[in-house]
A and B are shown apart, each in its own frame.
Chain A
Amino acid sequence: MGELMNEKHVKYILSVEKKKDDFESVVMEHLRVNGAYWGLTTLDILGKLDAVNQDEVVSWIMQCQHESGGFGGNIGHDPHILYTLSAIQLDIASLQNEDGSFSGDMWGEIDTRFSYIAICSLALLHRLDKINVERAVKYIVSCKNLDGGFGCTPGAESHAGQIFCCVGALAITGSLHHVDKDLLGWWLCERQVKSGGLNGRPEKLPDVCYSWWVLSSLIMIDRVHWIDKGKLVNFILDCQDKENGGISDRPDDAVDVFHTYFGVAGE
């Protein structure tokens, strides 16, 4: 898919001056980079990646890269940690806070999602030494709840998406011993409802994207056999739009790329 510019170390400059220039090209569909990742990965999983013109895609992604090295959500967009995971390049060390948490950008929003993105990105670049891993782990552990799950910040409700991020970050940093795998495994397998689908929190509706968050989490803690796979597969198949293709969040809803990715990955 083209060459990732791992060798390029450019500081993510958080100055007002830089920001001003970006505003002249605020564009809609800032999710395009993420959408491309989800779409392309789906095709790859289906063995159909040759259906797209790879040179065109790579050239477009490279246009999303800023002087700072960060990637925006589309051509001309401000860089943000959310989009950079898709494009895999950003100087993240500056986003780590004293308590080990990570901010999304200069404005300071903290969320364990960012911890995961930071750790995952740097691990892929073999640059984990750029952050304080011990403190990063400590912060994530502080977000662990009595049910074994994790929330976005300390005390926040356990949520499958946040759990995926925290368990992922702990897995990458060799810190899974902080996870009570039996307790969390039980919480995760309790996400499976009668229809076979998985929800993200107790008493919420099942959603195909939780196939990914819950399943990956279970795989990381070696408890995926606690889910009834057959029933889950049937649920995902029911979420397909059999006429036009694509997968929705639950049966009979509208399809979108996001859920198509997670549904295919879950399968």
Chain B
Amino acid sequence: MNRGVEEERERIPMSQRPEWADVRPVPQDDGPNPVVPIAYTDEFSETMDYFRAVWQFRRLILDALNVDLHEELHFVDQITKDNSKNYQIWHHRRWVAEKLGTQIASKELEFTREIFSQDAKNYHAWSHRQWVLQALGGWENELAYCDELLEDDIFNNSAWNQRYFVVTRSPLLGGLEVMRDSEVAYAIKAILAKPENESPWRYLRGLYKNDVNSLVNDPRVASVCLDVLLDKRDFVHALNMVLDLLSHHHQPSNELKDAVDAVSPDPKPSDSNFAERVCSILQLVDPIRASYWRWRKTSIPAQD
């Protein structure tokens, strides 16, 4: 692998730098501060990716010197902001937070919130946030936070995932059964706002996991499909949902059938079977997945 054209100082191997020739865990003179000299902080910030071993060393020092971990967390704060996709930093953060315990929960939630303000889908930060909630607590405002994020960007799949996480795992909300009704309403509202949004459709299905008959029998589901189709825009996911309903023996209303036929690019569809017709339309309106829709056509259960 080429070194590339960069010739910053960081690219020189550490073993060739005189100041690192004799690495020992020697404490600083100025009291119980982290050993790593402040003069090197900028270097570390720039070369975080290459210091996994040093992070390990740092933890050993922190333990040995019984350093105030609040200070350590502050140090990590600064570095994480510029290196928010570095596995080692997040893992180090988790190590520190775990040692500090439940007192640090709200600070950690606040910190990940700051990261999300820059990148609302940062996978590391979401993983950290989920860990914080489960290990240290702080569930009280999590659903409201998901609301906020989704108001900012209704397409944020991470926020939808977190919503599901909260609804199913929060000790404060009562679980999926209790929450299902209001969450279905929430998903439907999101669908109507942006029917091309993959996430709320999946979320809706997820709310009825292990109970697909309830999905099929919930009138709101067929109803939202109808509404989207009548609008004649961004109806691919709606058609897919109709297909799912039909596959579970839902009896479509004439209104729904008419709405589906109205969006068909083919003026003379040849399938007499309604479900097959839906598949044919999908092959035309979502051609990149034509193979998938062709397969769906072959796997439609026998209609009554």
Contact = CB atoms under 8 A, between A and B. Distances in A.
Interface stretch (A92-100, A130-138, A187-195, A206-214): A187-195
B1 A257 contact: yes
A28 B11 contact: yes
- Interface size range of chain B in the complex: 35 or more
A155 B133 CA distance: 12
Which 7 A-B pairs have CB atoms at the shortest separation, nearest pair first?
A35-B1, A146-B206, A157-B161, A202-B157, A226-B292, A203-B155, A202-B198
A26 B12 CA distance: 11
Interface stretch (B56-64, B108-116, B260-268): B56-64
A22 B50 contact: no
Q: Tell me if B's interface is mostly helix, strand, loop or mixed.
A: helix
Contacts, number: 134
B37 to A, nearest CB: 15
A35 B127 CA distance: 26
B38 interface: no
Interface in B41-66: 47, 49-54, 56-57, 59-60
B53 A192 contact: no
Nearest to B287: A228
B23 A23 contact: yes
Interface of A: 16, 19, 22-32, 35-36, 39, 76-78, 80, 105, 107, 109, 145-147, 151-153, 155-159, 182, 185-186, 189-190, 192, 194, 196, 201-204, 225-228, 231, 257
Contact of A203 (B52, B53, B198): B198
A32 B1 contact: yes
B215 to A, nearest CB: 12
B121 A231 contact: no
Contacts of B291: 225-228
Contacts of B139: none
B201 to A, nearest CB: 10
B43 to A, nearest CB: 11
Interface stretch (B13-21, B71-79, B185-193, B223-231): B13-21
Contact of A24 (B15, B51, B161, B198): B15
A192 B156 contact: no
A236 B267 CA distance: 36
B50 A194 contact: no
B10 interface: yes
A249 B169 CA distance: 36
A201 B53 contact: no
A23 B15 CA distance: 9
A16 to B, nearest CB: 7
B289 interface: yes
Contacts of A36: 1
B165 interface: yes
A228 B165 contact: no
Given A146-B164, A186-B292, A226-B295, A30 B50 contact: yes
Given A26-B53, A147-B205, A257-B1, 14 more contacts: A24-B22, A28-B14, A28-B47, A30-B52, A107-B91, A107-B95, A155-B165, A157-B123, A159-B123, A182-B299, A190-B198, A202-B198, A202-B202, A227-B291
A107 B87 CA distance: 13
Interface string B192-229: 00000111001001100100000000000000000000
12 contacts: A24-B22, A25-B14, A26-B23, A28-B14, A29-B11, A30-B52, A32-B1, A107-B56, A107-B59, A109-B91, A146-B209, A204-B121
B53 A78 contact: yes
B130 A26 contact: no
Given A28-B11, A107-B56, A153 B155 contact: no
A145 B162 CA distance: 12
A152 B289 contact: no
B3 interface: yes
Nearest to B22: A24
B53 A156 contact: no
Among A27, A203, A227, max chain B CB count under 10 A is at A203
Contacts of A39: 1
Contacts of B126: 156-157
Contact of A25 (B15, B202, B205, B289): B15
Contacts of A146: 164, 202, 205-206, 209
Contact of B15 (A76, A155, A231): A76
Interface in B77-108: 87, 91, 94-95
A189 B121 contact: no
B1 A29 contact: yes
A142 to B, nearest CB: 13
Contacts of B289: 189-190, 192, 226, 228
A192 B291 CA distance: 13
